[in-house]
Structures are given as C-alpha cells and as structure tokens.
Structure 1
Amino acid sequence: MPSKSSTKTLETATPNRTRVTMVWKIAAILALTLIIYFLPTPEGVDPRGMHMAGIFAGTILGLILQPLPTASVALIGLAAAMITGTMDTKTEALQGFGNSTIWLIVAAFFIADGFLLTGLGRRIALLFVSLLGKSSLGLSYGMALTDLVLSPATPSNTARAGGVVYPIVKSLATVNDSHPASDESRKKLGAYLSLTSVQVNTITSAMFVTAMAGNPLAVGFAADAGVKISWGTWALAAIVPGLVALIVMPWVMSKIYRPGLSQTPDAPAHARQELKAIGPMSRGEWTMLTTFVLLLILWVLGSTIGVDATAAAFVGVAILLISRVLTWKDMAANSGAWSTLIFFSVLVGMATHLNTLGVIGWIGDEVAGLVGGMPWILAFAVLSLVYFYVHYLFASNTAQIVAMYSVFLGAAIATGAPPLFAALALGFIGNLIGGLSHYASGPAGVIYGSGYVTTAEWFKVGFLASVVNILIWSLIGGGWMSLLGMWG
C-alpha cells in the first residue's frame, strides 16, 4: 500500500504535468500563428492575407490540441483577428453568424433532440434488433439500418452514434456477457459491434447533407467555388455507393475483426421485451415521425418547390415547439447546438475572409502545381488520398473541412476535374475519414471511451475499413456519378 507521502507526490505531479502540457500546446499555437502571420505576402494576395492565414492556422491547431474547449478556441481566434485589424469588426468579423447554412445545422440539432426525448430513436433501433438480431452480423445490420433511418435529420453524428446506437450496442453486449474487462469478454461481441457502428456511421454521414454537421459547410464552400449542390443532388449521388457500403461493411468487419460470438438467438426476444415495456407509440413519437417525414419531403423537393433547406428545418422546429415535443428549456440546454453555432460561425467567417483576401486561391494554385501535368483522374486520385489520410492529424471532421476543403476543391478543379464530381467526392471523404483513428471524430471518441477497443486494434481496423470505403466510393460511386452526368 503506497504511503501518504508518495500519494501526495503523485497528486502534486499530475497537475504539474497538466500545466506543462498546456504551456507547450499554447506555445506551439502561438509559434505557428506568428510564423505564418509575418510571412511575406504572395503576389495576388491582399496584404492582410498572411495575417489571416496565421490566425486561422493557429485556431485550427488549437482545435487539434484542445488546450481549451472548441468554442473557446474559436472565440480567442476571432478576438485576435479583430484586435489586429485583420478582420473589421463591423463588416467582416461577425459575418459567419449570419450564414444560413450554419443555422440549418443548429436547427437540425434541435430536431435530433426530438428523436432522443420522445424515445422514437430507441424504438426504431429495438425494432430492427427484433427483426434481424439472431446473429452478431444481423445485429450489426440492425444498428446500420437504425443509423441510416435517423441520419437525414441528425447532423450531430455524435448524438446519433452516442445517444441512440451505442446504448443499444452496450445493452446487447452486456446481455450476451461481453464486457470491456477482459480481452476474451470484449471480443465476444462488444468490440465487433462497437467498431462496426463507427464505420457504419461514417457511411450514413456521407449519404445526406444533413447527416453530419460539416456537410452543409462543404456545400457552402462549393458554392463559393461556383458549384451548386442541393440536398437532393448530394443524396442522389451518394445513395448507390452508400447502400453498397452499408451492405458490405458489416460483413467485411466480421472477417477482419471476427466476433467470438456469431449467434445471438436471445437478442430478438430481449428487444421485443423492451418494446413491450415501453408500450405503444406516444403522441410525441407520432408527432416526431410525421415531422421527420415532412422535413424529408421538403428537403428532397426544396429546389423544385422553392423552399430553402434552412427554412424547412425551422418549420420542423416550430412544429415540435407548438406540439410541445420540444420546449425552449430543451433547446437552451442543448449546449452542443450553441457551441456549434459559435464554433462554425467563427471558422466559416475566417475561411470566407481567407477566400476574399485571395489566400485560398493562392494555396489552391500551389497545390494544383504539385500535380500539374498529370491526367485529371490521376491528379484527383492523388489529391483525394492526401485529403483522406491527412485526417490522422485532425481530431474533427469539421475542422478538416473548414481548413482544407476549399483548397483541395480549388486544386482539383484547376487540374481539370469536373467541378460537381470533385465537390461531391471531397464532400463524401469528409465523412468517411471519421473512423480512421480513435480520435478521428466524435462517434469514434464515444466508442473508444467504452473500453471495448484498444488503440492498436483501432488503427489497424480503421485503416483496413478505409481501404474498403475508398474502393467502393471511388469505383461504384464514381461510376454512378458518371451515369448521372456529373462528370461533365
């Protein structure tokens, strides 16, 4: 048993290490910011361009290193941009807060709350388990279908994975005596379902604009480059490779990470018991379901009937408030939505300003020059692979999209890649990268925190799954978009 003095020494050492780590993080952020800030301004770039690039790069590094919460880092970056005159306070610094795309994301966060608060999301998951859950593979398909059904109206893929899918995965693993405590136990079922749920989440996130918070931002950046992508266009392009990937991925995962328990005959009965316990659908669940269907119709037909996607989302929120499925108290308590509003508004404002100052165009030309002379297909393949695997340096899909999407899209178009094809392909990649590592995305963090998967397992399985996704989305997805005329 350790002595009191040794215990006290350990308690003192831990805060000291934390402070040292914090100092090093802040020093690295300041160093990167100042180095870029004082670089000579390239030809064709506004004199403030490198100042903005330095502050933006420092903010992105802050999001990766996380010395403070995400929204705090963003606000500090904004303060630096304003106080140095890099962004005019009245006309430039706050422009992101008026971005309709960001408000679409915020509204969709509240709509997703409806699935959790009414219990409709859990009911859908249990229903699929009762129908498909006689084997570990069947259970994984049940979770995949749950994720797919909820994804069009759940921009927080973390909420979808952590609030609906993971609790069911945990329950199924526990019922089948699979616990994180030992290798034998966790590998019985829990590890397989956990890893598969993350890879499935990356696929469903890629299938709809409103399935991951960074997707509407990619659409906005594409519009800045002259490429218009509607909700329906994205969904149509993604539907075939997405469905193929959802069919293939659980089976592939069962081969590269074989669960110790292949048959789960008791799972359907357990799910039916839970469904019986929660009883028939409540008024709130029916209201949520009706609102969800209405939103899908408005999002799919929006460009045809002249209804803006953000307007449709707010109509959905209004219906849920009037019916009291949601209350203002529920919305005010959704810290994720308000943090997203601040974080996205600041970063989108900065990225837009970088584009206005000519920095994005200059970087895009430089990147395009590195693959210049290649046929556009080969050049785009190189750019796509770099864009995919550079995510090992990021702890957020959205952070990478904000930092790099516009640059790589500009470079791809400069090499001759069809603009719509390039914009959609890079948009899909911005989701598929979410399972590369245990820190790659919010869902990955949730699942890793469960203790079912080790770090080494995650890197190995995550890389193999990424290869499968790249092949499906490149070959089948590319062919499908060619048939749709998106290569023109």
Structure 2
Amino acid sequence: MRADAGFDPLDMSQYSLSKLPKRAPTQVGVFFQQWGLLLAGVVFVLTAYLLPMPGLDAKQQVMFGLFTTALFLWISEAVPNYLTSMLLICGLILTKTLKAKAAMATLGDPTIWLNVSAFIMASAMVSTDLAKRAALAFVLKFGKNAGALFLSFMAINIILSAFINATAAKAALMMPLFMVVSAVYGAPGTNTTNNFARNLVLHNLLMINAGSNAFMTGSGANLMGVALLAGAGVTVYYIDWLAAGLPITIALGILTYVIGVRFIFPLTKEDKEPKLEGGREALQRELDKLGKFKLGEVKAALIFFAVLAIWATDKLHGLNATVVAMLGATVMLMPQTKLIDWNKVDIPWHLMLFSAGAYSLGAGLNETKLMTVLTTQLMDSLGMNSMGYFELYAVLTGLFIASHWIFQSKNMRTLIFLPIVIGVAETLQLDVMSLALPVALCINMCWTLPFNAKPNAMLYGCNKYTMGEAWKYGATMSVVAWLLMLVAGGTWLHWLGITPGFF
C-alpha cells in the first residue's frame, strides 16, 4: 500500500472524527436523498394519526409516529443522522410529547460528558504518540496473522469489561487502535475501507457490547437486572454470573469472528497480509523511530491508568465515572501539564448531536410508556401462558435480543422486559432464575445499528462500514447469539443448574 503524498497511515492525528466522513451514495441512497424527507412526512402522518394502533392512547400514538419516522430517517440516511436527531427533538417538543427542557437537556446527559472526556483523553494519547506506540507494539506482538490479531482484540475487550462498565469509554479507548491497524491492513484514513477493516471494527463493536455480558458489573443495566431479580427474591452472586456468562461470551466472540471473516465479509489470503509498504519491517522501523518513552507519553499514560484504576474500583469509593473522566480530561488539557491544547482535541460533535436525539427518543418512550404497552401486547398475543419451558426460553431470549433493534437504551430494555419475564415465570410456577438469568445474559447484545447503543454511534463515525453493512453484520450475529443461547440453555447453563435443560 502506497500512501498518498503527505499522508502517513500510521499518523493517528490524521484520523479526525470531528469531520464528517465522505460516503459515496448508492443508487438507493440517491433516491432517499431526493425523496426521503417527503416519504418521512408520509410515514409520520400515517403512523401518528391515520393508522391508529389498538391499545394506544393519542399521546402514545403520536410517539409511535415520531419513533417510526426517526427510525426511517436514520436507516434510509435521507438526511445526516445528526439532522434526524435535531428534527426528532423538535418533533417531541412541537407535539407536546416532551417539554422543551426535557427534550433538549439530553445534550447535557452524563454519557455525553463521558464521551467528550474520553475523546479528549484519546486525543492527548494520540498527540503524545502514546497511542501510536501502543498500536505498533500491539500489531508487532500479536499481528503475525489476522486470526491472532482478532482474538487478541477480543481478549482485550473482555478484560476491559471486567473493570470498565461504560461501553462508550471502552469504545473511545479502543478507536485509535482500530484506525492504525486498519491502515496497516489496507484501509488508511476515514475515507477508505476493505473487508479486513469492516470485520475488525464490527467484531470489536460486537465484543465491546457483548463483553459486558461476561461480568455482573459489566454494565449498569446488568446491575439493574440483578436488582430486579433480588426484588423477586432471587439472589445472583458475582461468581454465578461469571460462570454462566464468561464461557458464552468467549464462544460468541470466536463464532462471530469465524462467521464474519468467512461468510459475511470474506477475507482472502491477501486480505490477511499487512499492506503497509515494507510490511512488518516498516512497522518495526516506525516503532524504533519513537525511541524511548517521552515525558509527555509518561504523563498521558499515568493519567490514563489512574482514570482506569478509579473506574475499576468504583465499588470501593463510589466516585461517578463521568466525573472521573472529566477530571482526567481536564488535567490533560491544563497548560501546566503540556499534553494537548484545545485546538488539537478531536471531538465528533455530530455524533454528540446524534446521541442527544437518541436519548430524547428514549425520554419520549419512557414518558409515554409506549414500549411497555407494545411489549405487553406482543407477549399476550404470543400466548405465553400456554407455552412449555423450552418455548418460553426460546421466545423470551429471541425477543429480548431482537428488541435492541428498536430500543436505544439497555436500561429501558431491562426495565421493561425483565419484570415481564419474572412475572411469566411466577405465573407458571417456574424457577425465576431459569428464565430471568438467561435473558439477563442478553442485556448487552445491542450491536446492530448506530442508534442502538452508544459505542455503535461512535464506531460508525470511523466510516469503515455503511448502515446497510452494519445491519447485515449485526442482524446475522444477533441470530447467531440467539442460537448460541439456545445451545447454552440445554448444555452449559443446564450443567450449572440454572436451566432444567431441554435436549
């Protein structure tokens, strides 16, 4: 691979996420750019006013219209996703679904601040060459072949999940590595991609989310699920969750890697070879050029690992993860620290606006209780009261995994679904743990579309895959995850005494 004049594929400072990537529209994309807004208006009028759904009041019906219209615009990309978010916020206010303050306050959500702080810290690590040194050392150590590289990333994601329960923070920390490794394997910058880069970023996105399923403390939604179970008189211990979740997570990581590189975005033998001119020798020369650790790198590393350590021990001190990240970012930005100045900070504000719209959507759904009503109707229509254990297990895990395609909040999915699962188990006099824990192990299976979870939006900004490719990969892996949960329910979870087994 020969870099363009003036472009160094190993220079992380050139991979700016604050500038919108250029995507050549497909024929379908051109159609939606011309007619998408008109079609969105038709979708809204139909779903909000002309086609009433049974069981919904007027406010819920309008919320359903806003939800389906936003979904249509986000998927069709008739307008950029941040504009859809801005239109959605305006719609929530104009229809009086939310008050202006509640709809607009989402831009100040703690998660937005966490993302901003994480991007500042990542920018400092790039500016000091710490991220470049780490990426080069990582590729030279584990990049002897593509398989070792993918599995090493998988291991890092699982290890980080044991200590960091903010998936957005994990995504921000891993992004510099994705970009350089993608460049080494033939996809430099934010305007080029290939099947290696697609597999690399999408598989890491999957593991950033799914890795949290391995640990009870892997996400706030996991702890919420444990609390809901405790309210039903079921105690889940850390070791119980770990024994059930970790093997399933590892199996999922390996399965999805194999399926991705062989069937979804197939890699040829040539794809698996580094494309950087000079190969591994060039990488080694670049690492040698960095010389010994500079003072700036040491400072950045100390601050970064201090933040990481405080995140990992939050149960001991109770410090807010967002505040800790903000303090780390503030220290890195201070002129006395001499690590980075504001003009070099790379913050993708378009993604922040997109996220704010997604959070406003969640606030609207929560305010109107729309998803609670729709979920209850769906489960009633399936006749769960007459199902056997295997049917219930299959339907509940499948519905819960598929629900992430329309939800943007793991907490909301957990709050809506888990009480229903517990209620079904109690009504049918089944062991609550046997149904609720397997469903809880699917909480973080939310990797498909950019608005389904915070890391999804962040990594979509890398421009290594399209919305259609995200759907193709994510939907396929959702089915794989569901089938794996079925197998686990009849084998591993049965051997642990969690499920009664059904094979």
TM-score (ref. length: structure 1): 0.68
Q: Map of 1:15-94 to 2, 5 A cutoff?
A: 21-38=32-49, 47-90=58-101, 92-94=102-104
* Cross-structure match for 1:178: none
Compute the displacement of 1:400 (Å): 8.2
* 1:364 counterpart = 2:381: no
Q: Give SS of 2:41's match.
A: helix
Compute the displacement of 1:171 (Å): 1.8
- For residue 464 of structure 2, the aligned residue among 436, 439, 447 is 447
8 A Cα contact 2:29 2:78, kept in partner: no
* Cross-structure match for 1:328: 342
Compute the displacement of 1:76 (Å): 1.4
Compute the displacement of 1:199 (Å): 1.9
Compute the displacement of 1:359 (Å): 1.9
Compute the displacement of 1:366 (Å): 0.9
* Cross-structure match for 2:445: 429
Compute the displacement of 1:117 (Å): 3.1
Q: 1:65 to 1:218 in 2, by over 3 A?
A: farther
- For residue 207 of structure 1, the aligned residue among 207, 211, 232 is 211
Compute the displacement of 1:226 (Å): 9.2
* Cross-structure match for 2:424: 415
Compute the displacement of 1:430 (Å): 0.3
* 1:339 counterpart = 2:350: yes
Q: Give SS of 1:93's match.
A: helix
Structure 2: gaps of 5 or more residues: 1-24, 232-237, 426-431, 451-455
- For residue 316 of structure 1, the aligned residue among 328, 353, 360 is 328
Q: Give SS of 1:430's match.
A: coil
8 A Cα contact 2:307 2:325, kept in partner: yes
Provide the rounded CA distance (Å) in 2 between the counterparts of 1:234 and 1:99.
Answer: 33
Provide the rounded CA distance (Å) in 2 between the counterparts of 1:305 and 1:482.
Answer: 37
Compute the displacement of 1:60 (Å): 2.5
- Choose between structure 1 and 2: higher helix proportion: 1
Q: 1:370 to 1:315 in 2, by over 3 A?
A: farther
Compute the displacement of 1:398 (Å): 7.5
More moved, 109-118 vs 190-199: 190-199
Provide the rounded CA distance (Å) in 2 between the counterparts of 1:221 and 1:81.
Answer: 28
8 A Cα contact 2:185 2:273, kept in partner: no
Q: Give SS of 1:155's match.
A: helix
Compute the displacement of 1:30 (Å): 1.8
Aligned residues, how many? 434
8 A Cα contact 2:97 2:364, kept in partner: no
Q: 1:69 to 1:159 in 2, by over 3 A?
A: farther
TM-score (ref. length: structure 2): 0.67
- For residue 316 of structure 2, the aligned residue among 301, 304, 312 is 304
| Residue identity matched to 2:464 | I
* Cross-structure match for 1:284: 296
* Cross-structure match for 2:395: 382
* Cross-structure match for 2:109: 99
| Residue identity matched to 2:147 | L
* 1:260 counterpart = 2:276: no
* Cross-structure match for 1:293: 305
- For residue 199 of structure 2, the aligned residue among 195, 200, 222 is 195
Compute the displacement of 1:119 (Å): 3.2
Q: Give SS of 2:144's match.
A: coil
Q: 1:79 to 1:462 in 2, by over 3 A?
A: closer
Provide the rounded CA distance (Å) in 1 between the counterparts of 2:489 and 2:284.
Answer: 37
| Residue identity matched to 1:204 | I
Q: Map of 1:107-256 to 2, 5 A cutoff?
A: 107-144=117-154, 152=164, 155=168, 163-173=176-186, 191-192=195-196, 194-208=198-212, 239-246=246-253, 250=257
Compute the displacement of 1:461 (Å): 7.6
Compute the displacement of 1:308 (Å): 1.9
Compute the displacement of 1:463 (Å): 7.0
Task: Encode CA deviations 1:49-88: one digit per residue, 9 max, x unaligned.
Answer: 2222322332232222222222221121221222232322
8 A Cα contact 2:422 2:436, kept in partner: no
Compute the displacement of 1:109 (Å): 3.3
Provide the rounded CA distance (Å) in 2 between the counterparts of 1:105 and 1:220.
Answer: 21
| Residue identity matched to 1:431 | W
| Residue identity matched to 1:206 | A
- RMSD of Structure 2 on Structure 1 (CA): 5.0
8 A Cα contact 2:167 2:208, kept in partner: no
Compute the displacement of 1:108 (Å): 2.8
Q: 1:244 to 1:278 in 2, by over 3 A?
A: farther
Compute the displacement of 1:365 (Å): 0.8
8 A Cα contact 2:111 2:322, kept in partner: yes
Q: 1:426 to 1:289 in 2, by over 3 A?
A: same
Task: Encode CA deviations 1:203-237: one digit per residue, 9 max, x unaligned.
Answer: 1333249xxxxx97967997998999xxx999968
